[in-house]
Amino acid sequence: MYSSSSSSTAPQKFDVFLSFRGKDTRRTFISFLYKELIGMSIRTFKDDVELKSGRRIASDLLMAIENSKIAVVIVSKNYPASPWCLQELVMIMDVEKKGSLTVMPIFYNVEPAHVRRQIEKVAEQFRKHEKREDYETVVSWRQALTNLASISGHCSRDCEDDSKLLDEITKRISDMLLFSATPPSDSINNQFGFDAHMKELYPLLELTSNEGVRVIGIWARGGNGRSALARYVYQKIFKKFQSHCFLENVKGIPHDCQMSNLRDEFLIRIQGGYSKMKTSGLIKTRLMTQKVLLVANNVDKLEQLDALSEDFNCFGPGSLVIITTQDKQLLLAFGIKVVYEVECLRCFEVRQLFRQIGFRERDLYVGSELSSPISGTESS
């Protein structure tokens, strides 16, 4: 975040919330899953602080659940034995009922039927709960566990090994996040000229190039058409790059924030972190060997480009930087020679498009999306 005050008023948003029994899986399966998700630039919440006996689940845990898109619940052999895991599960299922969270159960070395019917070892675990907890609490835990086990998920017994299970889980998560942001039909894209724009843009993108870092501009007077096209282009091509980042609304940076904060935030997001780090040199070193995609949307100051250029000039060969703006002179002043001009999308068409495909900040999946206060809907 840019400052302590901004971070306190703008809760973190996550793609995935991991719920698990730490003693069972933290050092094994969870560590590998978390590494894979972060490596894919999927914003993932993992609580690394063991909840101690008698301690109430922190309010920021509930906030993290409410601000996540997917909750991955890893049910291991001792997950049902933990009051803290079960209470967290109750919160997860309550948020899921509101329709703002997708829940994905993973049955790790346990039988899904035992969890759903609460028999065998699960029954033993609940008998212990009944001796220590009040009746209503245990009932809520049982119901949450039953509801979870009724959701289609993954079972470790169905995979040859954990690596296969990880591949299945990460692919499903990636597909779910991408699907939530991708326009649902080619007919809509054709109706509003997106495919026609892509035919014009593809030669400019030079996606097969492995020489240097290319910087191109997308210019239009109105903000909506330009931004919609930028999002669409990003969704179409980001898989061709090893690292990728969509900065939603660069001009929304508060005036009291220095441009160095923009650079810091970009470096944090591109490597999948969620707190300011002092390893920018290491991140830059990694990016120098990678093909990187950066889309900086709604830029309105030369200083913003200067700040970002300190990083994208260090990207690996074949990297692509796309700058969108309504100020054509800004692109020329920065020396960007390749500029695509958006003229075919009329405002009323774009508004209708937004309504049909649901381009909203909370639904837009980008590999490493810059979050509030930068991200959001810009004014034209």
Burial of 259 per CB tally in 10 Å (0-12, 13-18, 19+): middle
CA gap 136, 353 in Å, rounded: 47
The tokens describing 100, both together, are 């703002």
Given the residues 36, 88, 130, 133, the one annotated as active site: 88
Residue with tokens 């994905």: 104
Told to judge if 88 belongs to the known catalytic residues of this protein, a careful annotator would answer yes
Torsion of CA 194, 199, 205, 209, to 10 degrees: 140
CA gap 347, 59 in Å, rounded: 42
Q: What is 256-319 written as a DSSP string?
A: TS-HHHHHHHHHHHHTT-SS--S-HHHHHHHHTTS-EEEEE-S---HHHHHHHHHHHTTSPTTE
Count the neighbouring beta carbons within 10 Å of the beta carbon of residue 55. Answer: 10
The tokens describing 332, both together, are 């020329």
Helix (H) or strand (E) holding 121: helix 121-132
Catalytic residues: 88
